[in-house]
Structure 1
Amino acid sequence: MSQTATLLVIDDEPQIRKFLRISLASQGYKVLEAENGTQGLAQAALGKPDLVVLDLGLPDMDGQQVLRELRQWSTVPVMVLSVRASEVQKVDALDAGANDYVTKPFGIQEFLARVRALLRQVPQRGSAPACVSIGPLTVDLALRRVTLEDADVTLTRKEYALLAQLASHPGRVITQQQLLKDIWGPTHVGDTHYLRIVVGHLRQKLGDDPMAPRFIATEAGVGYRLLAPVQ
C-alpha cells in the first residue's frame, strides 16, 4: 500500500497523539485522531482508515471492548499500543482481533516498520457495512444504535449482540452454533433454548412476526438470517 494510507490513532494522551501525528505525517500518512473509544469507533466508520493504532487504557471504555466492537463490522488492521505488557493482556488483545501489539515506551523506527508491515497485509474478507437499513429498521454497528421508524430501540446486551451478528452479514444464514459460540461462549453451543428466548424477545421489540418476518428469518434447524437490506 502506498504512503497515502490513512491511519487512525485512538489514544487519550495528547502528547502521544502529537508524537505519532508528527512521526506518521513525516512519512506521508494521513492521520485521524480520537481521544476515547466512542470517538474512535465513529472515526473508524466515517474516516475508513487503512490502519488503527489503539491504546487499551481509554477513559470511556476499555480498548479491548473497542476492539471487539470494531471487529463486529470491520477487518481493518489494528495495532495495539499500550503500557500493559503482561502476556495475558497481549493474548487477550490478539484473540479479540488485534493484528499486532506494541508496548509503551516504544522506538519510533520499529513502530513505523510495524505500520508498514500491517499496511502490506491484504484482508482475507471485505468489511461488513457499518450501518444496515432494512425498511424502517436501521442497525448502526459503529454507534451501537438501533432505530425503528426513526425511534431508538432499547435492547439488552445479548439482544444487541445477536442483532449485530446478523446485521454484519445481511442476507446470510448464521448458524445456531456460531451465534451461541460468539455470544455465549464455546461451552454453550448446545444451549439452543438461550438463542430461541433472545430471538423471541428481539422480535417482540422489533414488532417482527416470525410467520411473516420483515427482519429476522428462521432457517429451520440451521440458524437465522437478517433479510437482505433494501437497495
Structure 2
Amino acid sequence: MQLMVVEDDDAVAAALVDAVQAAGHEACRVVRGTDALLQHQRAQLILLDLGLPDMDGLEVLRKLRQVTEVPIVILTARNDERSVVRGLRQGADDYLVKPIGLAVLLARIDAVARRSKAAAPDTGIVSVGDLQVDTGKREATQAGRELGLTAKEFDLLALLAQHAGSVVTREQILDSLWGDAFMAVSRSLDVHLTGLRAKLDRPGMIVNVRGVGYRIEAVIE
C-alpha cells in the first residue's frame, strides 16, 4: 500500500516512513498542506498531522474530502475533544494522538485499510438508462451505438456514471481528471462537457446543478 505522510517534523516523519516501509508498505513524505492537496492521488492512505506550516490540518482534511475518499488517519499532538470531534466529523477515518506506539499505529492503519477495501465500489460496466460505460474496455455506448469519445470525455462520463443520481462537484471532477481542483482555474472541463453532451443522444442526461457541479441521470421519454 502506498502511504503519504504529511508531517513537518523531520524526525517524526523519518520514523513514520521507516516504520511503514518496514511493515511492507511504500511511503512518501510531504511537509505542507498544499503539497498534500496536489499530490494526494499518489496515496492509498494518508497520515495527516494537524500542525502544518502553511495551513491547518483540519482545513487540509476538509479540502481533501471534497475530492477524494482515500482513507485519512489524523496523527497529531492535539488531544482536545473539540479537535477530535471536528476531525472525525469532517471525514477522518481515525484520529490518533502522539506519542503512539508504532505497533499500535500500524495495526490502526491496517484496520482502516481493510474497512476502505471492503467499502470500495465494484468496477466494470456501469449503466444509466440506455447508456453503458465499460470502464475496463474504456468503451461507452448508448442504445447500442458507440459514442466515439475522446479520452477526457470518457473519463468525465465514467466519473459521472459511477455516481449516477448524485452530484459530482466541479472540484471533484477537476481533481480527478486534471489534478488541479484547488491550485488553478481550468476551462477545460467546460470544453469537454460540451463535447460529451453533443455526442449523447440525450444531452439533458447531464444536469448542471448551479454553483455545485453536475449530475447524470436516466431520461424517461
TM-score normalised to structure 1 length: 0.58
Q: In the alignment, residue 56 of structure 1 is paired with which amino acid?
A: L
Tell me if the contact between 2:38 and 2:180 (Cα under 8 Å) persists in the aligned partners.
no
Alignment length (residue pairs): 154
5+ long unaligned stretches in structure 2: 122-158, 160-171, 198-203, 217-221
TM-aligned CA distance change 1:217 to 1:61, over 3 Å:
same
Distance across 1 between alignment mates of 2:176 and 2:26 = 28
Q: Are residues 73 and 92 of structure 1, via their aligned partners in 2, closer, same or farther at CA, if it must alter by over 3 Å? A: same
Match of 2:65 in 1: 71
Q: For 2:207 and 2:55, locate their aligned partners in 1 and report how far apart those are by CA, in whole Å.
A: 30
Alpha-carbon distance change, 216 to 116 in structure 1, aligned in 2, over 3 angstroms: same
User: Following superposition of structure 1 onto structure 2, how do residues 4-153 of structure 1 map, counting pairs within 5 Å?
Assistant: 5-45=1-41, 47=42, 49-122=43-116, 124=119, 128-129=172-173, 131=175, 140-141=180-181, 143-148=182-187
Secondary structure (helix, strand or coil) at the match of 1:12 reads: coil
The verdict on how the C-alpha distance between 1:19 and 1:224 changes in structure 2, with shifts beyond 3 A counting, is closer
Q: Percent identity?
A: 31
Looking at structure 2, the residues matched to 69 and 25 of structure 1 have their Cα atoms a distance apart, in angstroms, of 27
- Which residue does 2:208 correspond to in 1? 217
* Offset of residue 80 of structure 1: 0.3
**SS of aligned partner of 1:52:** strand
Hey, what does 1:226 align to over in structure 2?
214
TM-score using structure 2 length: 0.60
After superposition, give the CA deviation of every residue in 1:178-208 in whole Å (9 maximum; x if it has no partner): xxxxxxxxxxxxxxxxxxxxxxxxxxxxxxx
1:52–1:79 Cα contact (<8 Å) kept = yes
